[in-house]
């Protein structure tokens, strides 16, 4: 009696249709000239092509270990939070989809109850604490995440100057810059691995190493932090070059497919985060849609790894990607 599951493009189309019908503001209109970083990231990803190795086929293994947990593929749900249009159980449902797909979920703004509901699904959960001006609140959230069994904690430092929605900057009273010493102290007093989310330069990545972070997420935050910051895929190689293996380099913003994931891995990222795409899949088909999306992204990654002769994630490298000139519109 189970219906056939939707393909990736069907999930995205159905999710968009549903959200449009509900009048949900999807961050920026598709025809807008806002979000230059996100749109350029997309165009850049689409200008990268793989060099195939069809001879000498290999057995592919996409398994990936992070924060002492094993994932089926180097793909995760980047920090999300419950939006007004979502049902009460949305975070638990999305986490259930991620758990079923053998993946990890990061949660952003939200309370303990939601966090617990995600942890209860068995998915590895990471709490990304906001850069609150109220330091006590930061510690309270970090301690709460630790005691509930999160696998890591982090902070989206790129939201320090407020949140961008359309042309409007909001929440500047709530979020603020985090003095370096306070960040260092927070990281040293946190028992779990610490992630800095929103890094877009080699300098900031090096700083994250010095402060004791275990990972960074190279990210434009969708476009919710700043416009015209360097697109994450373009920033990635410099970051990898400056920190090497001193911390784990993760990336998000504008990734839609398994081939996108392989391109980021070829440029040196260890895993790729999806947020908006997961919300579309959730809007289209609930936790089943989320599970199916992650499974299909992982399957495409697996397939293209086979076609490029990569048996393991460590075999993926920059030389398998050929950069073509960006196409004129
Ligand atoms: C509904 C929604 C809520 C989000 N909430 C947070 C948050 O609380 N903290 C955070 O660091 N990022 C948050 N993000 C940003 C994502 O983690 C991610 O950086 C961004 O959406 C880019 O990835 P994408 O292009 O796959 O959407 C949110 C994104 C979405 C779509």
Per-residue pLDDT tens for 97-142?
A: 999 999 999 999 999 999 999 999 999 999 999 999 999 999 999 9
pLDDT of 244 strictly over 70: yes
Instruction: Give the Cα separation of 52 and 320 in Å (integer).
Output: 8
Contact 69, 124 (CB under 8 A): yes
- Mean per-residue pLDDT for 247-261? 97
Give me the residue spans of the domains in the chain. 8-24+34-323
Token match 């806002």: residue? 34
- Mean per-residue pLDDT for 2-10? 85
Contact 130, 110 (CB under 8 A): no
Give the Å distance between the CA of 308 and the centre of ligand 1: 31
Q: How confident is the model at residue 214 (pLDDT cuts 50, 70, 90)?
A: very high
Query: Which residue's CA is minimally distant from atom 30 of ligand 1?
Result: 80
Top-confidence residue, 5 or 64 = 64
Contact 321, 49 (CB under 8 A): yes
Per-chain mean pLDDT for the chain: 93
* Pairing status of strand 248-251 against strand 271-274: parallel
User: Which of 25, 39, 79, 162 is the best mutation target for the ligand 1 pocket, counting ligand atoms within 8 Å of the beta carbon and taking the most?
Assistant: 79
Give the Å distance between the CA of 307 and the centre of ligand 1: 31
When the candidates are 1.10.3480.10, 3.20.20.70, 3.50.50.60, 3.40.228.10, the CATH number that belongs to 8-24+34-323 is: 3.20.20.70
Using a 6 Å CB cutoff, which residues line ligand 1? Answer: 78-81, 83, 108-109, 128, 156, 197, 219, 221-222, 252-255, 274-277, 279
Percent of the chain with pLDDT over 90: 84
Top-confidence residue, 177 or 224 = 177
Contact 263, 44 (CB under 8 A): no
Q: How confident is the model at residue 30 (pLDDT cuts 50, 70, 90)?
A: low
pLDDT of 1 strictly over 50: no
Percent of the chain with pLDDT over 70: 95
- Crossing angle of helices 36-45 and 232-243, in 10° steps, is 80
Query: Which residue's CA is minimally distant from atom 28 of ligand 1?
Result: 80
User: What's the pTM?
Assistant: 0.96
pLDDT of 79 strictly over 90: yes
172-181, 190-199, 267-276: the lowest-pLDDT one:
172-181
Question: What pLDDT score was predicted for residue 3?
Answer: 67
Give the Å distance between the CA of 15 and the centre of ligand 1: 17
Q: In the chain, what is the greatest distance between 2 CA atoms, to the nearest angstrom? A: 59
- Crossing angle of helices 135-148 and 112-119, in 10° steps, is 30
Top-confidence residue, 268 or 163 = 268
Question: What pLDDT score was predicted for residue 329?
Answer: 47
């Amino acid at each position: 009696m189970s219906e056939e599951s939707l393909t990736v493009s069907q999930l995205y189309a159905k999710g968009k249709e549903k959200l449009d019908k509900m009048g949900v503001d999807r961050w920026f209109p598709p025809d807008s000239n806002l979000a230059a970083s996100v749109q350029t990231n997309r165009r850049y990803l689409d200008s990268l092509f793989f060099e195939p190795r069809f001879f000498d086929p290999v057995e592919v293994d996409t398994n990936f270990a992070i924060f002492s947990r094993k994932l089926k593929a180097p793909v995760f749900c980047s920090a999300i939070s419950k939006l007004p249009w979502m049902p009460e159980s949305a975070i638990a449902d999305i986490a259930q989809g991620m758990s079923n797909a053998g993946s990890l979920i990061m949660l952003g703004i939200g309370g303990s109850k939601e966090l617990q509901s995600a942890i209860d699904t068995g998915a590895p959960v990471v709490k990304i604490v906001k850069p609150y001006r109220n330091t006590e609140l930061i510690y309270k959230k970090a301690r709460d995440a630790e005691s509930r069994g999160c696998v890591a904690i982090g902070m989206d430092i790129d939201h320090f100057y407020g949140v961008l929605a359309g042309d409007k900057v909001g929440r500047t009273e709530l979020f603020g810059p985090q003095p370096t010493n306070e960040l260092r102290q927070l990281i040293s007093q946190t028992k779990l691995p610490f992630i800095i989310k929103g890094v877009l330069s080699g300098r900031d990545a090096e700083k994250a190493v010095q402060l004791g972070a275990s990972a960074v997420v190279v990210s434009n935050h969708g476009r919710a932090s700043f416009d015209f910051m360097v697109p994450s895929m373009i920033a990635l190689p410099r970051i990898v070059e400056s920190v090497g293996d001193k911390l784990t380099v993760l990336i998000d913003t504008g990734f839609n497919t398994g081939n996108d994931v392989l391109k980021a891995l070829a440029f040196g990222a260890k895993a790729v985060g999806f947020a908006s795409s997961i919300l579309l899949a959730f809007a289209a088909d609930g936790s089943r849609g989320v599970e199916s999306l992650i499974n299909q992204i992982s399957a495409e990654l697996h397939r293209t790894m086979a076609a490029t002769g990569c048996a393991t994630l460590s075999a993926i490298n920059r030389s398998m990607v050929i950069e073509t000139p960006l196409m004129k519109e």
